[in-house]
Structure 1
Amino acid sequence: MSYKRSSLMQERMEQNRLAILDSARSLIAEGGFKDAQIQTIAERAGVSSGLVYRYFDSKSQVLVEVLSDAITTELQVIDSIADSALQPAEKLHKAVATFVKRALNSPQLAYSLMFEPLDSHVELERFRVKQLIKKSIKKILADGKASVAFDFDDLNSSALCVVGAMTFVAIEPLDPAQNTKFDPDYKDYFSKQIADFCVAAVQKRSDRQDS
């Protein structure tokens, strides 16, 4: 009986924790970090503010975990592409275009998680996140280099450039102040432009010797 009670308590605690994170994520998606205050997070999660602090030391910790959970999903998408049977150029194009398009599908959330100014704890997590994205992109680039589909001098630098294109190039359309209209055609066009650029930057060209 004691074990069952303990198991039920553990399940309830995990449900509360997930509700808090889901609440924070939805608030960020609607209005950015400014709307994700502890009191508001607690109200939407159906718990007290005090209970939030039983699971998280601060608002920053909540936001760091939201960012961590979000990037875990994105990495799974990229890694599934990297492990697919596509050719290296197709993998890179699909990975970049998919990442950008998914960001455009939730612009406020993507902008806040990647760019909205916040404290050092979140900035450190953003740096860690970019390193994880870079690791996944390096795998695609390394495969392309090995198969002579890609031609570049330095794997790490090339991966950093691709990650920069995937993230910082999207600042302008994602910025809520720009009020960009994200219709399906625009999402397809914008994500394709970035993906085309990334592939062109590393793809081997037979005419390079002649240029």
Structure 2
Amino acid sequence: MAYRRTPAVQARLDAQRAAILDAAVDLLSECGYAGCAMTSVASRAGVATGTLYRHFPAKADLVAELFGHVVGREVDAVRRASDTPEDAAERVVAVVRTFATRALKSPRLAYALLAEPVDAPVEQRRLVFRRAFRDVIAGCVRDGVRAGTLPAQDAELTAAAVVGAAAEILVGPLTGGTATSLDGLSAFTLRALGVRHATDP
């Protein structure tokens, strides 16, 4: 007869898993992918290392689920930012500013999500994140083109360019990624969409 977990046992296992993921999010935010050693995560979560391995057989398994958890939270935030009654260009700027503001509040986490060298399974999760961000922007661009508030353009190409620019400004080696980047990033986004900005000649 197969063993069936009681509700109490399942609740305890679920609580352990949640504590492990919370600890891993904290370490990822503080130290990046490299800092998420299994022993460090177990210690932060208050569980034995063996318990951690029962939930996640390898670090790659833990980090892949961790990225999925954090990425889902970030994607939800930008989707909410896009769900406004403003015109398409303003919606895209709201998405970019939301993404950038959250990244600037936790720069180490942003670097881990966008650029830190990672294993292949984690890189796949990263691509899911970037595609989701691109798709939110592309949807706004398509709406603007249909409504006639944006010029005709390849929505996915424009969105991909905006995502790439945001990532470079926030975590790339060419800029400082400071709060003063927000207005410049917003102005760039409007120009990329084909909208004149107040500072344009």
TM interval, short-chain normalised: 0.7 to 0.9
Distance 1:106 1:204, change over 3 A: closer
Counterpart CA distance in 2 for 1:23 and 1:46 is 9
Secondary structure of the residue that 2:11 maps to in structure 1? helix
Amino acid at match of 2:122: V
- Please list the CA deviations of residues 98-142 of structure 1 after superposition, one character each: whole Å capped at 9, or x if unmatched: 101110100111111211111111111111211111111111111
Counterparts in 2 of 1:102-113, with a 5 A limit?
Answer: 102-113=102-113
Amino acid at match of 1:201: A
- Please list the CA deviations of residues 25-77 of structure 1 after superposition, one character each: whole Å capped at 9, or x if unmatched: 11121122222100010011011111111111211121122221112112112
Equivalent pairs: percent with the same residue? 30
Return 5+ residue gaps in structure 1 as ranges. 206-211
1:129 matches 2:129: yes
Secondary structure of the residue that 2:65 maps to in structure 1? helix
- Residue number in structure 2 paired with 1:57: 57
Counterpart CA distance in 1 for 2:170 and 2:65 is 23
Deviating more after overlay: 43-52 vs 192-201: 192-201
Amino acid at match of 1:103: A
Counterpart CA distance in 1 for 2:160 and 2:11 is 41
Counterpart CA distance in 2 for 1:151 and 1:18 is 46
Bigger helix fraction: 1
Instruction: Return the offset for 1:152.
Output: 4.0
Secondary structure of the residue that 2:150 maps to in structure 1? coil
Contact 2:145 2:153 in 1 (8 A): no
| Structure 1 stretches of 4+ moved >3 Å | none
- Residue number in structure 1 paired with 2:171: 171
- Residue number in structure 2 paired with 1:201: 192
Contact 1:64 1:122 in 2 (8 A): yes
TM-score by length of 1: 0.84
Amino acid at match of 1:203: G
Counterpart CA distance in 1 for 2:182 and 2:65 is 27
